[in-house]
C-alpha cells in the first residue's frame, strides 16, 4: 500500500469488494503469500480472488476455491447421502484465504463488512467463471489463532471441529495436529434442503466454457521457476535456482541431458545469454558465470518435485487447453528408472502424466507409495480444468470413485478399459450379444507397420439403465485387434472391452475407436519420447529427487516442443541447437 494512506479516514460503509483483474492477480498472489500465515501458491482446482477496495486502496483479500472433498462436520450438518455428496461438491465454495492487509488492521467492523460483501457476489462470480452458481459457503478457522468473530457477525454457522488430518495423494491420512473450527453459510435460504435432496437440478450442471488467458496470466517459464522454493542447504547458492533450471530446460531442448552434458552446454552460452538467464556475475572477472555440474546435481537432487511439477502444470495446461472445445486427454503412470522406492522416506519413484491424445503433456504428479498411481491421477484431475473433456484411462483406474469424480465433480466424460480387476463388469460385457441387431460396428482400414499388418474393429452398443454398477456408462465397446507378423505369418487376435459415459448421439463407433487408440499417446507420445529422444531411462542420476525431477524437466521440454509446433523431438532438438535464440525465447517469453 503506497504512502499517504490514512486508515482513520476509511468509511467502512464505502468499502467495496470486487474480483481481482487479470493484471492484478500477481499482486494479489504476492500479498497473500507474504502476509497470510499459510502463505499462498495457487488454488487447488477452481478459484476466485476478491479484493476489498476503498478509494482505490486495497484493504483486504479473500480467496475462494472448490469445497473440501470430505469433511465430517459439514457432511453431518447437511445430512446428505454419500451417493449425492460427490455430485454436489462443486456447489460448495471454500473461503480458503481471508486477509486484512497490515495497513488496514484495526479498522472497526472492516472484516465483517468485507466478508458480507464477498458473500453477496461470490455465487454470481462463480457462475460467470465456471457455469453454475454456488449453494453453500464453508471455511476453516484455526482456534489457536482466531476466534472467528467475523464469521459469527456474518451469520455463519459453526458445525463442529475437524480431526486434524490433511489430504495427501487423494486420502486424508496426513495428521497435522491442528484441528480447525468449521463454519458454513447457506447462500440461499433452502440450500441445506436442496443439497440433501436426491433429485439433481439442471442449473447445477457443469457447463464447459472456452477458457482464454491474457498475456499477464501466461507467465514465462523462468518467472515460474523464480517462484519455486529453493531447498538447497547453502552450498552453491550464488547461482539462482531459476537460472539453473532454465539452463537445464535449454539443454533438454537441444537434446542434452545429465549434469555433465548440461555443464558443457552452459559453458558455450554467450555472455548475453547468461545475463538474460540471470546467471551469477563474478565481480573479479567481470563476467557472467555458468553453473558447474556439481551445482546442477544439487539442484536436481534437492528441488521439491511437487513444486517443479506445479511449474509444468502452470505453464503447459493454459497453453494447451485455451479455447479447446472438447479435447481428449489420457493419464498413465511411469516408473522412473533409477529411483529406488526403498532409498528413504519422501523419495519419489513414479510419475503420472496427463497428456492430450497428441502426446502433449499438461501436468504430472509424483507418487511414492505402492498403488499411489490412482490417487495421483485423481489429484491431476483436480489441478487441471477438465470440464467438457473426454478422459481415457486404463483398467487400473476403472473404479466407481473415479467415475463419480470425473462426471459429477469435474463435469468431464470418460472412456474406461475394463479388465479382470472389475470381474462383474468384465463378465457382463463379455456376455453381451455383440452380433445382435442394434450393435453398431466400425472396421478401420488395415495398417502396415512395425513388421506386421494390424486390423481393428470396434463394436458398440447402448447400455440399458442400471445394467452395470457404473451408473454413468452409456455405451459398451468391444475392440478386436487382428495382427499378422510379416516375417513368420503368425496370426494373433486380442479382444478388449471398454465403457464410456458418452452417448451414441455424440460419438459413433469410428470416434470411439479413435479415442481408444488415442489413449496410447501417453505411452507412444510421452513415455517413449522421454526415453528414446530425451534419454530418461538411460540417465544415471540417482540421488534423492534427481530422477523424478529429471522426468519433470523432460515433460517441460516436450511441452515446449509441442507449443512451438514441432511433432518430432529430434527435429526440434536440431532446430533449437542451431537457433538458440528461439530456445531462449521459449524459456523467457510469456507466450
**Alpha carbons 394 and 326: distance in angstroms, whole number:** 20
Backbone angles phi, psi at 242, to 5 degrees: -60, -35
| Angle formed at CA 336 by CA 335 and CA 338, multiple of 5 degrees | 130
Segments of 176-278 assigned E as strands: 181-186
Closest CA to 545 of 332, 234, 307: 307
CB atoms within 10 A of CB 534: 25
Per-residue pLDDT for the chain (591 aa), expressed as one digit of tens each? 556 677 778 888 888 999 998 778 878 988 998 999 888 877 766 789 999 998 888 999 999 988 887 788 898 898 887 767 777 888 899 999 999 999 888 888 898 899 999 999 999 998 887 778 899 999 998 888 888 888 888 889 998 888 765 544 344 445 555 788 999 999 998 989 998 888 878 777 655 444 444 444 567 888 888 888 877 776 667 888 888 899 899 999 988 888 888 888 888 888 888 888 888 888 888 888 888 888 888 888 888 888 888 888 888 888 877 655 558 888 888 877 766 554 455 556 778 888 888 888 988 888 766 567 777 887 788 778 787 888 998 888 888 888 888 887 777 889 999 988 888 888 988 888 888 888 898 888 888 887 888 899 999 998 887 778 888 888 999 999 889 988 888 989 889 999 999 888 888 889 999 998 888 888 888 888 888 888 877 777 777 788 888 888 999 999 999 888 888 888 988 888 888 888 888 888 877
Q: Are 206 and 410 in contact (CB under 8 A)?
A: yes
Q: Tell how strand 413-418 and strand 92-100 pair up.
A: unpaired
List domains and CATH numbers for the chain.
7-204 (3.40.630.30), 212-359+527-591 (no CATH), 395-518 (no CATH)
Q: Write down the pTM of the prediction.
A: 0.66
Amino acid at each position: 500500500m503506497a504512502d499517504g494512506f490514512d486508515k482513520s479516514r476509511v468509511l467502512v460503509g464505502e468499502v467495496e469488494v470486487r474480483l481481482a483483474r487479470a493484471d492484478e492477480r500477481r499482486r494479489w498472489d504476492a500479498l497473500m503469500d507474504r502476509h497470510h500465515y499459510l502463505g499462498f501458491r495457487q488454488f487447488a482446482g477452481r478459484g476466485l480472488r476478491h479484493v476489498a477496495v476503498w478509494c482505490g486502496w486495497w484493504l483486504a483479500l479473500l480467496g475462494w476455491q472448490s469445497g473440501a472433498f470430505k469433511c465430517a462436520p459439514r457432511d453431518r450438518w447437511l445430512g446428505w447421502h454419500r451417493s449425492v455428496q460427490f455430485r454436489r461438491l462443486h456447489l460448495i465454495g471454500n473461503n480458503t484465504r481471508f486477509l486484512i492487509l497490515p495497513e488496514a488492521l484495526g479498522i472497526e467492523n472492516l472484516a465483517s463488512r468485507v466478508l458480507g460483501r464477498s458473500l453477496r457476489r461470490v455465487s454470481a462470480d462463480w457462475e460467470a467463471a465456471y457455469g453454475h452458481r454456488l449453494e453453500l459457503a464453508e471455511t476453516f478457522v484455526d482456534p489457536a489463532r482466531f476466534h472467528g468473530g467475523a464469521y459469527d457477525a456474518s451469520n455463519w454457522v459453526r458445525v463442529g471441529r475437524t480431526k486434524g488430518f490433511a489430504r495427501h495423494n487423494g486420502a486424508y491420512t496426513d495428521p497435522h495436529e491442528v484441528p480447525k473450527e468449521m463454519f458454513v453459510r447457506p447462500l440461499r435460504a433452502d440450500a441445506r434442503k436442496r443439497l440433501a435432496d436426491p433429485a439433481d437440478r439442471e442449473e447445477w450442471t457443469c457447463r464447459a466454457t472456452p477458457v482464454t488467458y491474457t498475456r499477464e496470466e501466461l507467465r514465462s517459464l523462468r518467472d515460474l521457476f523464480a517462484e519455486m522454493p529453493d531447498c538447497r542447504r547453502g552450498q552453491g547458492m550464488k547461482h539462482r535456482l531459476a537460472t539453473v533450471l532454465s539452463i537445464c530446460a535449454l539443454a533438454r531442448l537441444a537434446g542434452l541431458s545429465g549434469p555433465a552434458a548440461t555443464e558443457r552446454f552452459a559453458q558455450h552460452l554467450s555472455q548475453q545469454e547468461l545475463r538474460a538467464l540471470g546467471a551469477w556475475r563474478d565481480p573479479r572477472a567481470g563476467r557472467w558465470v555458468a553453473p558447474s555440474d556439481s551445482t546442477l546435481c544439487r539442484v536436481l537432487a534437492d528441488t521439491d518435485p511437487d513444486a517443479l511439477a506445479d511449474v509444468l502444470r502452470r505453464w503447459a495446461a493454459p497453453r494447451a487447453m485455451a479455447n479447446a472445445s472438447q479435447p481428449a486427454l489420457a493419464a498413465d503412470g511411469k516408473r522412473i528408472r533409477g529411483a529406488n522406492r526403498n532409498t528413504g522416506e519422501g523419495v519419489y519413484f513414479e510419475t503420472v502424466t496427463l497428456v492430450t491424445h497428441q502426446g502433449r503433456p499438461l501436468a504430472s504428479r509424483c507418487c511414492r507409495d505402492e498403488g499411489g498411481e490412482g490417487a495421483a491421477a485423481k489429484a491431476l484431475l483436480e489441478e487441471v480444468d477438465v470440464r467438457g473433456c473426454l478422459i481415457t484411462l486404463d483398467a487400473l483406474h476403472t473404479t466407481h470413485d473415479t467415475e463419480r469424480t470425473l462426471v459429477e465433480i469435474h463435469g468431464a466424460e470418460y472412456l474406461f478399459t475394463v479388465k479382470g480387476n472389475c470381474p462383474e463388469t468384465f463378465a457382463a460385457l463379455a456376455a453381451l450379444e455383440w452380433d445382435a441387431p442394434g450393435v453398431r460396428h466400425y472396421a478401420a482400414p488395415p495398417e502396415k507397420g512395425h513388421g506386421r499388418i494390424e486390423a481393428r474393429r470396434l463394436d458398440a452398443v447402448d447400455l440399458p439403465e442400471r445394467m452395470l454398477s457404473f451408473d454413468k456408462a452409456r455405451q459398451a465397446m468391444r475392440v478386436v485387434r487382428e495382427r499378422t507378423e510379416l516375417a513368420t505369418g503368425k496370426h494373433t487376435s486380442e479382444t478388449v472391452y471398454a465403457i464410456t459415459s458418452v452417448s451414441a448421439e455424440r460419438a459413433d463407433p469410428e470416434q470411439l475407436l479413435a479415442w481408444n487408440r488415442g489413449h496410447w499417446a501417453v505411452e507412444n507420445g510421452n513415455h517413449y519420447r522421454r526415453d528414446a529422444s530425451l534419454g530418461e531411462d538411460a540417465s544415471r542420476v540417482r540421488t534423492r529427487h534427481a530422477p523424478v525431477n529429471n522426468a519433470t524437466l523432460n515433460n517441460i521440454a516436450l511441452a515446449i516442443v509441442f507449443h512451438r509446433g514441432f511433432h518430432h523431438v529430434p527435429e526440434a532438438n536440431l532446430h533449437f541447437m542451431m537457433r538458440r535464440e528461439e530456445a531462449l525465447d521459449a524459456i523467457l517469453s510469456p507466450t
